[in-house]
């Protein structure tokens, strides 16, 4: 059983998948930083100096100055600002994956289509070599 597992784990597809997961996690961290540190601050500034991470709705009716204060008070909150950041992260990652797949498909060469080597006999519908002048099935002149 150990030998079978080693053979499975050392296949190229499993190694490729592991590398993809590791690179994907690193890419996710980069996109999260891009959204939180580069994209959202200018949007928040344009919308009146709003920090999207701090947008929340308190469900118990009490007003809290910050999301951290509400969490320290164990108040039930809907942190929709963090949700907006997460949605933006997803959209950016999905768009980049779309671009990568699109480029990969564009660069991937289609296998050349071989020209036909036979033709169809009009009398018996059999396959006949292109250079043949008589059908080997029905002996008709082509």
Dihedral sign for Cα 30, 35, 39, 41, please.
negative
What confidence category does residue 12 fall into, taking pLDDT thresholds of 50, 70 and 90?
A: low
Is the per-residue pLDDT at 26 higher than 70?
yes
Give residue 9's pLDDT band: very low, low, confident or very high (50, 70, 90). Answer: low
What single DSSP character describes residue 61? S
Altogether, the residues listed in the chain come to a count of 142
Residue 38's φ and ψ, nearest 5 degrees, are -120, -45
Q: Are residues 92 and 68 both part of a single domain?
A: yes
Average pLDDT, the chain: 82
Shared domain check, 14 and 71: yes
Percentage of the chain modeled with pLDDT above 90: 0
For 123, the domain range is 114-142
Q: What is the pLDDT of residues 67-108, one digit of tens each?
A: 888 888 888 888 888 888 888 878 887 887 788 788 888 887
Mean pLDDT of 12-18: 74
DSSP string, 1-44: -HHHHHHHHTSHHHHHHHHHHHHHHHHHHHHHHIIIIIIHHHHH
Task: Kindly state whether residues 140 and 103 are assigned to the same domain.
Answer: no
For residue 96, the SS3 value is helix
Residues 6 or more apart whose Cβ sits within 8 Å of residue 80: 55, 56, 57
Residue 102 confidence (pLDDT): 87
59/7 same-domain check: yes
68 plus 95 within the same structural domain: yes
- Give yes or no: residues 37 and 85 share one domain: yes
Residue 56 buriedness (CB in 10 A; 0-12 / 13-18 / 19+): buried
Structure tokens at 99: 């671009």
d(CA 20, CA 31): 16
Q: Mean pLDDT over residues 107-122, rounded? A: 84
Q: Which two tokens stand for residue 82?
A: 């963090």
My answer on whether 32 and 70 are in the same domain is yes
Residue 128: enclosing H or E segment and its boundaries?
Answer: strand 127-129
Instruction: Tell me the CATH number at 82.
Output: 1.10.1200.120
> Which helix (H) or strand (E) segment is 77 a member of?
strand 77-78
Number of structural domains found in the chain: 2
Higher pLDDT, 9 or 48: 48
């Amino acid at each position: 059983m150990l030998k079978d597992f080693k053979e499975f784990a050392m296949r190229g597809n499993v190694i490729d998948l592991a590398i993809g997961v590791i690179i994907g996690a690193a890419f996710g961290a980069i996109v999260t930083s891009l959204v939180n540190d580069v994209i959202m601050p200018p949007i928040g500034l344009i919308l009146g100096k709003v920090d999207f991470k701090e947008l929340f709705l308190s469900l118990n009716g009490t007003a809290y100055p910050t999301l951290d204060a509400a969490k320290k008070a164990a108040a039930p909150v809907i942190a929709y600002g963090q949700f907006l950041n997460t949605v933006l992260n997803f959209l950016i990652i999905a768009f980049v994956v779309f671009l990568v797949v699109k480029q990969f498909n564009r660069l991937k060469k289609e296998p050349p289509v071989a020209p036909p080597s036979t033709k169809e006999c009009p009398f018996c519908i059999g396959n006949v070599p292109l250079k043949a002048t008589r059908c080997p099935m029905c002996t008709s002149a082509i």
